[in-house]
């Protein structure tokens, strides 16, 4: 006979049953504590308005409730149950009222209407059974609009309080046109705790006198100085649509002159979903340096790249990585990232794999190693090569000429020869304005690289693109300035009169890609860099844009020019000229002297031998003799370290 399963003893059964019941009770009590008080408040509002309408005689003669005194408690219970039914159907207890909107307001209205209908039906049915109706038949329905308004105000009170004026600093918002008012609306709904919009100025006239959620549109931004004074603004936020325009940079200058901090805000549709607070960012050098917004058309470049293998040397660098991002959008068949920076190409490859479906290959190879480099070219068979790999820090290379020659000169020679051997269609060398004067070791090495491309004879179409400094690249003064300002100073500048040509990385890369369909073999192209920018003016602008004063809040230290540096750079040598191309931002440089490939080969082998033997002094002399002589730049004035206390603004 099989044993029958035995139930557990009662002493063990009771706790188990209690454990199933207790959580339910706890949840019920918790819900009552969270929502019961609010529901009771709504029921009291509903009940009080019904009493008021009854006493005031709506739907009949004035007077109190009908029936015995305990009907007052009965009608309160009826109001509570009716509101509970309405809240449950429209889920009022699940809504976040600090960010309530139109849908939430409608939900409140429908919930009250349902509660009114239920209360009215209960009031009517009490008369059918021979009892006494507490209220006249029309009272619940006549009171409904008042109940909707009162309960709505009660429910929306957190939303109204969250929109109340804050005690933050006063912010003047400059928008491009009326379509950016939606961004101001989001400002107000998710305001930054430190800054409160108090007025709006537009770049397009015609909206003066209007308001956006209570914030006045004062008029055209052309009168920005006046609006800053009249609104007592303590900061200015610019809603930018793409890169800053010249008109906006003129407005930046007005704000900087007034010592006001400047913030840049993207349009609302560019914000991350769920972003809390205004995504204010401080004015950057890109905003100050970037030129008037324009579309750089690279559709014809896409026709050159589509379906082909593209190789980028120095892919982990500032220019190389941005070049890879642009090329990835041109639909190549395969993109090869070549660099010796393991972490850099790993992170870039992962980024590109997320955003595109093209094949990404990493090549952890040094361009100095000709055998390994040749193996990469033989395996990948690229059709287009961008050669960005180079050492670029001028003062550092002055004390490391061997490394400068091996990487910049020998590495470029190796890459160009491998490209020719692999039958590469197009080879683009990234050059620099430092190659013009050949004053520094870095400049001499890059000039020799230009001569390699100019003197190359073969099936590969090869050309060089020369441009100046790019804002935000590794080693650029801009990230250094921003870091020094964040740390409270001092900001270090080599000389008060030093100036440089500057452009944004994005613009430089797009123009380099733009040369693909127009580039001719043996040519040197130069990008239009615009006017030179004084580094001191740039530092002053960055300091003022953060609401601080140069020389007082942030000290500026002049450290003196470092080895290899010049007061200013040049884009053309004294014996060079330019002629236009199909793109006004790209100029074709005419150089009168192009060495033969045999002469170049001898020179490169000579400097390679000297570098490998470690004969630095002779290496530098040979390198500087190898590049064609140009007029030596005027010697720079020496300057000892000093502080800028109160220097007049030059911005």
Which of the residues are catalytic? 434
Q: What residues pair up with 360 in beta bridges, in sequence order?
A: 335
Question: What three-state secondary structure class fits 224?
Answer: helix
Cα-only R_g, the chain: 37
User: Among the residues of 466-504, which ranges form H helices?
Assistant: 477-486
- Identify the residue whose tokens are 């188990």: 16
Contacts of 187 (CB under 8 A, 6+ apart): 173, 197, 265, 278
> How many whole angstroms separate alpha carbon 358 and alpha carbon 307?
10
Which residues, in sequence order, are CB contacts of 604 under 8 Å at separation 6+?
409, 410, 413, 448, 452
- How far apart (Å, rounded) are the C-alpha atoms in residues 432 and 50? 83
CA–CA separation, 307 vs 368, rounded Å?
Answer: 29
Distance in angstroms (rounded) separating the CA atoms of residues 245 and 537: 19
Beta strand 499-500 pairing with 533-534: antiparallel
In sequence order, which ranges of 496-546 are alpha helices (DSSP H)?
Answer: 505-514, 535-544
Intra-chain end-to-end CA distance of the chain, in Å = 103
Provide the greatest CA pair distance for the chain. 120
Residue 33 DSSP symbol: I
| 170's tokens | 């006063």
CA distance 134 to 181: 52
Per the structure block, which two tokens stand in for 548? 């601080």
CA 119 – CA 135 distance, rounded (Å): 10
For residue 175, give Cα distances in angstroms to 169, 214, 291, 380: 19, 16, 19, 49
Name the one residue in this structure whose structure tokens are 């020869």.
417
């Amino acid at each position: 006979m099989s044993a029958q399963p035995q139930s557990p003893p009662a002493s063990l059964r009771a706790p188990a049953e209690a454990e199933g019941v207790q959580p339910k009770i706890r949840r019920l009590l918790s819900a009552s504590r969270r929502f019961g008080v609010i529901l009771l408040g709504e029921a009291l509002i509903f009940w009080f308005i019904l009493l008021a309408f009854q006493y005031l005689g709506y739907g009949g003669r004035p007077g109190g409730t009908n029936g015995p005194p305990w009907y007052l408690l009965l009608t309160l219970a009826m109001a509570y149950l009716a509101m509970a039914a309405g809240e449950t159907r429209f889920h009022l207890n699940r809504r976040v009222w600090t960010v309530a909107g139109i849908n939430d307001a409608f939900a409140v209205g429908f919930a009250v209407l349902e509660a009114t209908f239920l209360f009215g039906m209960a009031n009517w049915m009490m008369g059918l059974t021979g009892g006494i109706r507490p209220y006249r038949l029309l009272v619940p329905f006549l009171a409904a609009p008042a109940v909707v308004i009162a309960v709505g105000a009660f429910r929306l009170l957190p939303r109204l309080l969250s929109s109340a004026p804050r005690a933050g600093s006063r912010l003047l918002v400059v928008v491009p046109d009326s379509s950016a008012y939606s961004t101001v609306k989001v400002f107000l709904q998710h305001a930054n705790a430190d800054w409160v919009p108090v007025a709006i100025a537009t770049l397009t006239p015609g909206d003066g006198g209007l308001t956006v959620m209570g914030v006045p549109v004062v008029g055209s931004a052309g009168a920005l100085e006046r609006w800053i004074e009249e609104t007592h603004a303590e900061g200015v936020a610019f809603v930018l649509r793409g890169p800053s325009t010249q008109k906006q940079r003129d407005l930046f200058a007005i704000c900087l002159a007034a010592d006001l901090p400047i913030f840049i805000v993207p349009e609302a549709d560019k914000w991350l979903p769920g972003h809390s607070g205004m995504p204010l960012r401080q004015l950057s050098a890109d905003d100050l340096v970037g030129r008037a917004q324009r579309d750089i058309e690279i559709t014809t470049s896409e026709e050159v790249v589509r379906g082909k293998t593209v190789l980028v040397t120095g892919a982990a660098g500032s220019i190389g990585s941005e070049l890879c991002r642009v090329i990835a959008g041109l639909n190549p068949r395969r993109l090869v990232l070549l660099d010796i920076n393991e972490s850099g190409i790993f992170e870039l490859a992962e980024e590109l794999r997320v955003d595109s479906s093209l094949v990404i290959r990493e090549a952890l190879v040094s361009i100095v190693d000709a055998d390994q480099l040749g193996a990469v070219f033989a395996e990948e068979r690229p059709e287009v090569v961008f050669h960005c790999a180079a050492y670029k820090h001028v003062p550092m290379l002055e004390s490391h000429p061997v490394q400068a020659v091996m990487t910049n000169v020998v590495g470029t020679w190796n890459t160009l020869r491998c490209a020719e051997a692999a039958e590469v269609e197009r080879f683009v060398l990234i050059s620099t304005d430092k190659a013009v004067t050949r004053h520094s070791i870095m400049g001499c090495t890059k000039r020799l690289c230009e001569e390699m491309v100019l003197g190359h004879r073969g099936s590969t179409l090869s050309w060089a693109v020369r441009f100046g400094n790019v804002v935000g690249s590794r080693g650029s003064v801009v990230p250094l300035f921003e870091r020094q300002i964040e740390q409270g100073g001092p900001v270090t500048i080599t000389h008060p009169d030093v100036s440089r040509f500057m452009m944004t990385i994005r613009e430089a890369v797009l123009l380099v890609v733009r040369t693909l369909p127009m580039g001719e073999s043996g040519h040197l192209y130069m990008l239009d860099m615009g006017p030179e920018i004084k580094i001191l003016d740039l530092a002053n602008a960055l300091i003022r844009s953060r609401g601080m004063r140069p020389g007082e809040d942030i000290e500026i230290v002049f450290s003196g020019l470092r080895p290899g540096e010049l007061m200013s750079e040049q884009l053309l040598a004294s014996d060079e000229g330019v002629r236009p191309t199909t793109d006004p931002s790209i100029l074709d440089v005419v150089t009168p002297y192009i060495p033969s490939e045999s002469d170049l080969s001898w020179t490169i082998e000579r400097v390679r031998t000297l570098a490998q033997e470690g004969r630095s002094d002779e290496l530098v002399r040979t390198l500087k003799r190898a590049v064609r002589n140009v007029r030596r730049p005027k010697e720079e004035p020496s300057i000892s370290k000093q502080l800028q206390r109160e220097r007049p603004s030059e911005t």
